[in-house]
Amino acid sequence: KLYNKWLEELGMDSGKAIYGEAPIKKAFSLSAIDTLLFSEAIEKLHVKIQCSSCNKEFLEASKPEDVVVLQDKISKTPCPKCSKEETLSIISKEHLIDEFMTLAKDTGAEIEIIGVGHEDGQTLMKTFGGLAAILRFPVDW
**Given a cut of 90, is residue 48 above it in pLDDT?**
yes
Of 112, 27, 114, whose CA–CA distance to 18 is shortest?
27
- 11, 25, 118 from 100: Cα distances, Å: 25, 8, 22
In the chain, the DSSP E strands lie at 17-19, 33-39, 45-51, 57-62, 88-95, 110-114, 131-135
Note the Cα 33 to chain centre separation in Å.
14
CA distance 9 to 116: 22
pTM, two decimal places? 0.82
Helix (H, G, I), strand (E, B) or coil at 61: strand
CA distance 84 to 59: 18
pLDDT, tens digit, for every residue of 86-122? Answer: 999 999 999 999 999 999 999 999 999 999 998 999 9
Q: How confident is the model at residue 66 (pLDDT cuts 50, 70, 90)?
A: very high
Task: Estimate to the nearest angstrom the gap between the alpha carbon of 4 and the chain centroid.
Answer: 22
Closest residue by Cα to residue 70 from 83, 88, 94? 88
Nearest to 22 by CA among 101, 96, 112, 95: 96
Domains and CATH numbers, the chain: 2-42+96-135 (3.30.1330.30), 45-94 (2.20.28)
